Amino acid sequence: MENRSLKKVTSVWIITILVLFLASITLGIIMRFNQGTQLHLKPNTFYATLTTHGVTMIGIWAAAGLVAINYLLSRYVKTSAGLSIFALVFTVIGVVMLWMSTFAGNFHAAWTFLYPLPLAPYAAWKAWATNLFLWSLVVFGVGWLVWSVGMMAQILRNYSITEIFAWQHLTGKEPEKKTPPFILISSVSLIGIILCLLAAVVLLVFFFMEMYTTGVKNDALLMKNLTYFFGHTLANEALYLGLAAVYELMPEVGGRKKFGTTWYVALGWNCTMVFVLTAFFHHMYMDFVQPGGFQIVGQLASYFASLPAAAVTAFSVATLVYRNRIKWSFTNLLFFIGIIGWLIGGVGAVIDSTISNNIILHNTLWVPAHFHTYNAMGNVLLCLGFFWWAAHDFSGTRDTFRSHWPTLTLLLIGGFGFVLMFYLGGASSVPRRYAVYPEGIANGAPLATAAAWFAVVYLVGMLMVFLTIIRRCTKAFSPAS
């Protein structure tokens, strides 16, 4: 069962993530107002802001999923508060280094820092800023890798390899030892996270070899494959960590029977594990030197990575809520809306990953449209559901919806309005990553202004969530807890 130090470190994580989230949303709003021409940032300041926003967001929501499963794992296996503290310290140091590299050093190669852009002679900033940026990734990577390996090792003490993948369920017969869905999904996601962090280690070593040794030149295609294997996989696996929390908590909070692992749940998540690792190839469609076979794998894996997990989860959640008396607390509403946001964003992603569509939608605002949908209105809400539940658990307060409906209304209107402006921009070919839109793109700026105001509404909703959570989380430190 959860111990006091685990509660304390989880509280500090939750508060840290939410503070960084509010700051990063503000950076996002500044960018949208700049694109709407209400603000006038210098181009390199815009791109430094984009870089800070992108890396911080991807980092904190991957960490949020790890925080959730680290806490909930203590129901099944012994977990370590020490490793969580270690990862927290590394994350905070990493954030300070990252923000210094972008805001003080003006590093602005975006969260994808695509080779050879960060290196001389291409870099439009000082060499120390590239160094600091790459070392900040090392610090994040070490913290999360050690933490993830630690969690995986704890799972493997209680469950065999066959059991973590729930293979004993695939026969359809009732197995002797059942694998809880939470263990299956956490294991599948942790393995993906460990693999993509290892790819990041190789990528960073290649960068450092070229930076610190004369005569070394990396292969640009290999570097791009490694970058997207790392970044795309991390962003995707983060979502599945949030789903693990939903499988564990949604029936419990709703007063229903726990979800079980069936043959189709086991099969769905095993397929997801394999296909998520190869879906990143869809980022390489425009790299014509990439072997053709990988492009086909990219398209097929993009379909198969999302479909089994989405179908199985949508079915499980639908059977939970359809014609059943379920207790609708704020936690469960966040979970439910988060699943819907994840599915909508997933459909947008599949549309984009189809090669014939990608020729038109490539590098338009359709791309941030779909990933902001399954992040800001998907994974963020799933993790927030966990944060809300944990904060109420720590403080022993009743988790109701009644007094919080204005908060939810703000999040829904602000969040979906914000992403809708991205979709409308993408559908009319407004390019992504432009600090200011060229004159020929008539509706880029008005859509950006509208999006910025919707995001302000979302920010106010988040602030209200934050204030409630922070009050409850601090109770984890009171002697009575």
Indicate which single residue of 18, 50, 145, 309 sits in contact with ligand HEM (rule: CB under 6 A).
50
Q: How far is the CB of 300 from ligand HEM (least distance, A)?
A: 25
Q: What is the DSSP letter of 288?
A: T
Task: Read off the amino acid at residue 403.
Answer: S
In the complex, residue closest to ligand HEM by CB = 28
H helices present in 37-101, as ranges: 43-73, 81-99
The one among 65, 341, 345, 368 contacting ligand HEM by CB under 6 A: 368
31 neighbors 445 (Cβ within 8 angstroms): no
The number of helices, as runs of H, and strands, as runs of E, in the chain is: 15, 0
- Of 14 and 184, the one with the shorter C-beta distance to ligand HEM is 14
Q: Does 455 participate in binding ligand HEM (rule CB under 6 A)?
A: yes
CA torsion sign for 12, 93, 43, 376 is negative
| Shortest separation between residue 22's beta carbon and ligand HEM, angstroms | 10
Tell which positions 389-448 bind ligand HEM, by CB under 6 A: 418, 432-433
Assess whether the previous peptide bond of 43 is cis (omega < 30° from 0): no
CA–CA dist 147, 4 (Å, integer): 19
Least distance to ligand HEM from the beta carbon of 474, Å?
A: 25
Residues 26-45 that bind ligand HEM (CB under 6 A): 28-29, 31-32
Question: Minimal distance in Å, beta carbon 14 to ligand HEM?
Answer: 16
Q: How far is the CB of 25 from ligand HEM (least distance, A)?
A: 4
Going from the C-alpha of 320 to that of each of 40, 178, 336, 338, 414, the distances in angstroms are: 49, 20, 11, 15, 28
* Burial zone of 181 (CB within 10 Å; 0-12 exposed, 13-18 middle, 19+ buried): buried
Q: Indicate the residue among 166 and 339 with the shorter CB distance to ligand HEM.
A: 339
Tokens 């925080």 correspond to 67
d(CA 106, CA 80): 38
For ligand HEM, which stretch binds (CB under 6 A), given 109-117, 194-202, 299-307, 346-354? 109-117
- Provide the CB-side half-sphere exposure for 406 (13 A, CA): 4
Each residue 235-274 as x (binds ligand HEM by CB under 6 A) or -, in order, gives ----------------------------------------
Q: Is 63 in the site for ligand HEM (CB under 6 A)?
A: no
Q: Does 111 bind ligand HEM (CB under 6 A)?
A: yes
Q: Count interface residues toward ligand HEM (CB under 6 A).
A: 24
Decide if residue 54 touches ligand HEM (CB under 6 A). Answer: yes
Closer to ligand HEM by CB, 58 or 349: give it.
Answer: 58
Site for ligand HEM in 294-353 (CB under 6 A): none
Spatial CA neighbour of 451 closest among 108, 20, 21, 34: 34
d(CA 252, CA 327): 9
Closer residue to ligand HEM, CB minimum distance, 54 or 251: 54
Q: Which residues partner with 431 through β-bridges?
A: 364
Q: Is the distance from CB of 316 to CB of 265 less than 8 angstroms?
A: yes
CB nearer to ligand HEM: pick between 29 and 391: 29
Is the Cβ of residue 54 or residue 94 nearer to ligand HEM in the bound state?
A: 54
**310, 238 Cβ separation under 8 angstroms:** no
Q: For the chain, report the end-to-end CA distance as a whole number of angstroms.
A: 14
Question: Judged by CB, which is closer to ligand HEM: 23, or 321?
Answer: 23
Catalog residues that contact ligand HEM under the rule CB under 6 A.
25, 28-29, 31-32, 50, 53-54, 57-58, 61, 110-112, 368, 372, 375-376, 380, 418, 432-433, 455, 458
